[in-house]
Homo-oligomer: A and B are copies of this chain.
Amino acid sequence: MAEAISRRRARGGGGAARRAERTAVRIETAKYIERNIPNFEILTEEALEIIEANAETVLAEIGVNFVNNPAALDRWREAGAEIEGERVRIPRGLARKLCVTAPASYTQHARNPDRNVVIGGKTLVCAPVYGPPFVRDAGGGRRYATMEDFRNFVKLGYMSKWLHHSGGTVCEPTDVPVNKRHLDMLMAHMTLSDKPFMGSVTEPSRAQDSVEMCEILFGKEFVQENTVMTSLININSPMTFDDVMMGALEVYAQNNQACVISPFIVGGAMAPVSVAGTLTQVLAEVMAGIAYSQLIRPGAPVVFGAFVTSIDMNSGAPTFGTPEASQILYGAGQLARRLGLPFRSGGGLCASKLPDAQAAYETAHTLNAALLGGVNFMLHACGWLEGGLVSSYEKFVMDADQLGMLHKLAEGVAVDVNAQAMDAIAEVGPGGHYLGCAHTQANFKQAFWRTDLLDYKPFETWEEEGARDTQALASVRVAKLLSTYQQPALDPAIQEALEAYVEDKKASMPDAFM
């Protein structure tokens, strides 16, 4: 692997690239989180065993549907499942056994090796919001997202210290034809950021395009030997695996590229109204999906996904940041760890229409659960608004600031001699204060997490400056980040090759908007 990286670097090392590197503003990105704290485990051993036994019953007796996918049915039949129409019944223990070849963690490479991430074990990798067709900012309100918005969110993600990953569909660029927008989206991630990113999953052919563009960016051999994308494969809950998503999964697994295999569940609609029932279905679905990925290519990297929320039984609307969602996240994390798989859940999920107190309550509940629940890949870590319909500029930088908190909390509590601070307690003594003592002088710069956004000013100063709320402070920060953005250096030959690929692809098909 080290050799592959050095080859890649040498290939990309033209004079123009070196000049660009010298003049670039250095962007600080924190290393992905490596937890030094325990996980919170809400389910007892007995509860876990009940749910695991029930999930096996679901797979064996009810089964799952693989739709419009005869090849998948053949693979399952060969592996020992019972096939009836599109229904796949998986004998007890078979799915779990097939999951064993999936790695417990993997490295996703970025074009800047400093930005590589490890997904699995004690790590937590944060990626931005995924999928909204709308954007919102304080000045422009809510409107359909465009490619310009998409590029702006990639830039904000690149400049966000606590965000490790550039994500995928940071918003849907609705001004670009559906069948071509994946090309522009990938181009934005590849050229406007140097963080790792996600591939397209909306058609198997677009997954193939993603692989081919990565071969240009990273080198063909490097892509075959390493994971350079983590892409999002949703299961159509309950228990339906459609040919589009499975087709994309097949492309990625064949190419050793990672997929998050994620039931997408609004509890009460796509799963039972109970937490234990929902966890049973989640486990059955994920085991079936991951087992299938290992039938495609044993050892292909995958992530146990759980995107689960509940429904508001009054309005039918999905809710976020609720106690049931936290319970499910905690429980799903335990189930994933018992399978020995990386876990995806959480993020800055909220139902609110505005980046207001409701949004922040809901988001903070989910972020806390994600950190303590052992999430390894946190999609939607920032910018998510209105149940995922909207990518919010202000909430993007608000949430991204909050992610810094998770880094500090995850460090745990040091108890070395310096941290014990017994000299300081003796020096200050009863009735004194610590502001000037030697221990404070030596430690205050690293002692406490510092926000880049929130307000701690004296009331009078804050009032003189316009009594701004969090959204107003965030608008200022968005404008500042976008106005100071500088593109990270990229070998011009690679840039040209990517542009040529995109141009050719676009010319090869008519525009489609559905």
A residues contacting B by CB (< 8 A) are 37-38, 40-43, 46-47, 50-51, 54, 57-58, 61-65, 87, 142, 236, 238-240, 267-281, 310-315, 317, 319, 322-324, 326-327, 331, 351-365, 368-369, 372, 386, 389, 398, 402, 405-406, 408-409, 412-415, 418-422, 424-426, 428-435, 439-440, 443-445, 447-450, 454-459, 462, 467, 469-471
Contact indicator A415/B50 (Cβ below 8 Å):
yes
Name which of A51, A279, A365 has the most chain B CB atoms within 10 A of its CB.
A365
Contact indicator A238/B428 (Cβ below 8 Å):
yes
5 smallest beta-carbon distances between A and B, as pairs: A277-B421, A364-B364, A360-B360, A272-B421, A273-B447
Q: List 20 A-B contacts (CB under 8 A).
A: A38-B42, A40-B372, A54-B422, A236-B431, A238-B429, A268-B440, A268-B447, A270-B433, A272-B440, A276-B413, A277-B419, A277-B422, A310-B447, A313-B448, A317-B456, A323-B449, A324-B447, A356-B360, A356-B471, A357-B398
Knowing A280-B422, A324-B449, A448-B268 touch, does A469 contact B354 (C-beta < 8 A)? Answer: yes
Q: Which residues of B contact A424 (CB under 8 A)?
A: 272, 277
Contact of A415 among B47, B270, B449 (CB under 8 A): B47
Minimum CB distance partner of A351 in chain B? B456
Q: How far is the CA of A240 from the CA of B432 in the complex (A)?
A: 9
Q: Which residues of B contact A365 (CB under 8 A)?
A: 364, 368, 405
Q: Which residues of B contact A420 (CB under 8 A)?
A: 50-51, 54, 274, 276-277, 280
Minimum CB distance partner of A454 in chain B? B358
A413 to chain B minimum Cβ distance, whole angstroms, is 5
Name which of A62, A420, A445 has the most chain B CB atoms within 10 A of its CB.
A420
A347 to chain B minimum Cβ distance, whole angstroms, is 14
Minimum CB distance partner of A331 in chain B? B413
A92 to chain B minimum Cβ distance, whole angstroms, is 15
Contact of A456 among B61, B319, B440, B455 (CB under 8 A): B319
Q: How far is the CA of A286 from the CA of B19 in the complex (A)?
A: 61
Contact of A62 among B64, B356, B429 (CB under 8 A): B429
Q: How far is the CA of A43 from the CA of B456 in the complex (A)?
A: 29
Contact indicator B459/A419 (Cβ below 8 Å):
no
Q: How far is the CA of A238 from the CA of B439 in the complex (A)?
A: 15
Q: How far is the CA of A87 from the CA of B412 in the complex (A)?
A: 34
Q: How far is the CA of A358 from the CA of B341 in the complex (A)?
A: 35
Q: How far is the CA of A245 from the CA of B272 in the complex (A)?
A: 54
A163 to chain B minimum Cβ distance, whole angstroms, is 17
Name which of A51, A267, A372, A409 has the most chain B CB atoms within 10 A of its CB.
A409
Q: Which residues of B contact A469 (CB under 8 A)?
A: 354, 356-358
Q: Which residues of B contact A405 (CB under 8 A)?
A: 322-323, 365
Contact indicator B268/A389 (Cβ below 8 Å):
no
Contact indicator B317/A357 (Cβ below 8 Å):
no
Contact indicator A439/B326 (Cβ below 8 Å):
no
Q: How far is the CA of A353 from the CA of B310 in the complex (A)?
A: 32
